[in-house]
Amino acid sequence: GQQVMQIPQYQHVQEGEDFTTYCNSSTTLSNIQWYKQRPGGHPVFLIQLVKSGEVKKQKRLTFQFGEAKKNSSLHITATQTTDVGTYFCAGRRSNTGKLIFGQGTTLQVKP
Amino acid sequence: EAGVAQSPRYKIIEKRQSVAFWCNPISGHATLYWYQQILGQGPKLLIQFQNNGVVDDSQLPKDRFSAERLKGVDSTLKIQPAKLEDSAVYLCASSPPGLAAQGSYNEQFFGPGTRLTVL
């Protein structure tokens, strides 16, 4: 069945370093959403990408949707300790509309 | 605006027992989702309601799990009987009605979840 794969599973960075997580789907997606889950918390919506090749920015966060609408990435510039958490991509299947979550990338930031 | 409410927050039961979780979505949100999140994994959709109708329950283990949303507002998720592998956080989410734009779907607002431990 459809899978949405995320890499890496874990990332430890020094505060101030950059961070990137990648999301790949086996099939074309109609859109992709990104969520952040703090330790012990629940997923919180960050952004949605719809168009092929779309790039959106939120302060230090840059989100990209691939040209083929099968992959996406989240890049954080100059990480801060407040960026700690697990970042999930969630891709929506084009034909069924079902939202499939990736397994997440857990980010640790050392001060 | 109040968020998605869930109760209880924590539940510990023994295998073969029954358990029920309750969710109250954000007012006016037509779509309600139940997810299962096992430690270290992403949320897995169990069931999706549109008002009081089921849209997708393809990943709901129907031999032991059931869910209802009788009046199109609150929802309950039940497990009977529970197994050890059901230990997880059960998340409820809701989203507002309608498509935000062509090809786009509205964001999901998650509740705090119920952490279930089956011994």
Reported residue count of chain A is 111
- How far apart are the C-alpha atoms of B21 and B43, rounded to whole Å? 16
Cβ separation B91–A31 shorter than 8 A: no
**Chain A residue numbers touching B110 (CB-CB < 8 A):** 42-44
Q: How far is A99 from chain B (nearest CA, A)?
A: 8
Query: Please, are residues A64 and B2 in contact by the beta-carbon 8 Å criterion?
Result: no
Strands, DSSP E only, in chain A?
A: 4-7, 10-14, 19-25, 29-37, 44-49, 55-58, 61-65, 71-76, 85-93, 99-101, 105-110
pLDDT in tens, A84-95: 999 999 998 876
pLDDT in tens, B77-92: 999 999 999 999 999 9
Task: Check pLDDT > 80 for residue B102.
Answer: no
Q: Residues B32-50: what's their mean pLDDT?
A: 94
**Chain A residue numbers touching B101 (CB-CB < 8 A):** 50
For chain B, give the mean pLDDT.
92
**Whose structure tokens read 């999930």?**
A88
- How far apart are the C-alpha atoms of A35 and B33, rounded to whole Å? 16
**Residue B43: per-residue pLDDT:** 96
Query: Please, are residues B46 and B60 in contact by the beta-carbon 8 Å criterion?
Result: yes
Residue type, B111: G
**Chain A residue numbers touching B42 (CB-CB < 8 A):** 6, 88, 90, 101-104
Task: Check pLDDT > 90 for residue B96.
Answer: no
Q: Does A43 touch chain B (CB under 8 A)?
A: yes
Nearest to A98 among B43, B45, B91 (CB): B45
**Residue B52: per-residue pLDDT:** 86
Task: Check pLDDT > 80 for residue A97.
Answer: no
Per the DSSP assignment, residues forming a β-bridge with B36 are B44, B90
**Residue B86: per-residue pLDDT:** 97
Of B51 and A94, which is predicted with more confidence? B51
Cis peptide before A8 (omega within 30 of 0): yes
**Residue B23: per-residue pLDDT:** 98
The DSSP H or E segment spanning B4 is: none
Q: Residues B51-79: what's their mean pLDDT?
A: 93
Give the closest residue to A6 by CA, choosing from A24, A30, A20, A19.
Answer: A24
